[in-house]
Amino acid sequence: MNAVSIPIMKPFLGPEEQEAAAAAIASGWIAQGPRVREFEEAFAAHLGAAHSVAVSNCTTALHLALHVLGIGPGDEVVVPSLSFIATANAPRYVGATPVFADVDLATQNLDVESVGAVLTDRTRAVIVVDQGGMPADVDPLRAMCDRRGIHLIEDAACAIGSTYRGRPVAGAAHLAAFSFHPRKILTTGEGGMVVTDDEQLAARLRRLREHGMSVSAAERHATGGAPVLEQYLETGFNYRMTDIQAAVGLVQLGRLEGVVARRREIAARYQEGLGETEGTALPSDPAWGTTNYQSYAVLLTDDSASRDDVMVQLAAEGISTRRGIMASHLEPAFAGHSHVPLPVTERLTRHSLILPVFHEMTDAEQDRVIETFRRVLADQVTLTVSAR
């Protein structure tokens, strides 16, 4: 008989979020309006960024970031294959070609040398990902991009609450994109944000997310009925966030510090409980920053242990895990897409798994994960050894 299962992740939402969403509905303004504006301002203030533009999700945020930089057919955009597939899809949305580079084994983030090796005359941008919340070492990449006159976009989908060189992530990129999907630590159901210090880019992003309109619906409403004739200045999109989502986001942003502190506490307990486990490499803060532990990815370093078998056995004991970060180049959507060898990416995607971390996880639940994981792994290694 199984004990109650332990999920991999659980969104942390309470009565405050319910009240905020209800208040937005009661206000009569539920599409993009004053709460979206307020959320954008609070988000920018949190990051220390000049401009924040709320959108429907991080995938549309990445699409708009490439679009607003004028990247299109014939252009190349360097991305890690080791990422959620939206990172690699984004260049295709604008007709550009994603070019895969390899990652660093310890941080799972783009390796600067690997990026340097795939730059060509057609490269127009690099998308660096803060994988699972782990801050990438962005300054050397930015310096490389600046020397070549290309743009650096940060896919910070998972990284709200992580820091780079003592400041919130995303400060060193031209544009950064965030996600508020329930799998991330700050959620609005669905939602995203594009962040930039460039005022002109921000103004155009605001227009592009709303059909290319010269005046937003909220601005028209604010004139109190006086007719405002809007114009459609270019081909835009409908990538808006709703005020109901923004109301939830404002509450979640207010909780962020406590949520990150709790995740770091859970990670410290994993370090304590699993640090001595042979055949594993655990995540930890890099020299240049702190992670929010959005994902706690463990690499199995002993080749005799099968990651998939470990996952199956943990599941049989009621413990949910996920395979490590996916590798986009191994998916059918990228079959036949040429790329340089990606040995570190392939090792990480095949041999790592993500352990449960959620705000309300109890010590007893975590102890069960630690004890079961250690036992299953030890069995795996012995089994394989005796089968030789």
Ligand X SMILES: *Cc1c(COP(=O)(O)O)cnc(C)c1O
Binding site for ligand X (CB under 6 A): 57-59, 83-84, 86-87, 129, 155, 157-158, 179, 181, 192
Cβ proximity to ligand X: between 68 and 274 the closer is: 68
Q: Cβ of residue 325: shortest distance to ligand X, in angstroms? A: 8
Cβ proximity to ligand X: between 29 and 39 the closer is: 39
Cβ proximity to ligand X: between 176 and 377 the closer is: 176
Beta bridge partners of 99: 78
Cβ proximity to ligand X: between 110 and 310 the closer is: 110
Cβ proximity to ligand X: between 80 and 171 the closer is: 80
Q: Cβ of residue 321: shortest distance to ligand X, in angstroms? A: 17
Encoded amino acid at 244, one letter: I
Cβ proximity to ligand X: between 33 and 192 the closer is: 192
Q: Cβ of residue 179: shortest distance to ligand X, in angstroms? A: 3
Give dist(CA 179, CA 193) in Å, integer. Answer: 7
Q: Cβ of residue 129: shortest distance to ligand X, in angstroms? A: 5
Cβ proximity to ligand X: between 131 and 366 the closer is: 131
Q: Cβ of residue 83: shortest distance to ligand X, in angstroms? A: 5
Q: Cβ of residue 157: shortest distance to ligand X, in angstroms? A: 3
Cβ proximity to ligand X: between 84 and 358 the closer is: 84
Which of 190, 160, 175, 137 is closest to 53 using CA atoms?
A: 175
Backbone angles phi, psi at 66, to 5 degrees: -70, -40
Q: Cβ of residue 82: shortest distance to ligand X, in angstroms? A: 10
154-164 exposure pattern, b = at least 16 Cβ within 10 A, e = fewer: bbbbbbbbbbb
Give dist(CA 80, CA 328) in Å, integer. Answer: 8
Beta bridge partners of 164: 167, 289
Q: Cβ of residue 222: shortest distance to ligand X, in angstroms? A: 29
Asked if residues 161 and 259 have their Cβ atoms less than 8 Å apart, the reply is yes
Catalytic site residues? 184
Asked if residues 184 and 32 have their Cβ atoms less than 8 Å apart, the reply is no
Backbone angles phi, psi at 307, to 5 degrees: -55, -45
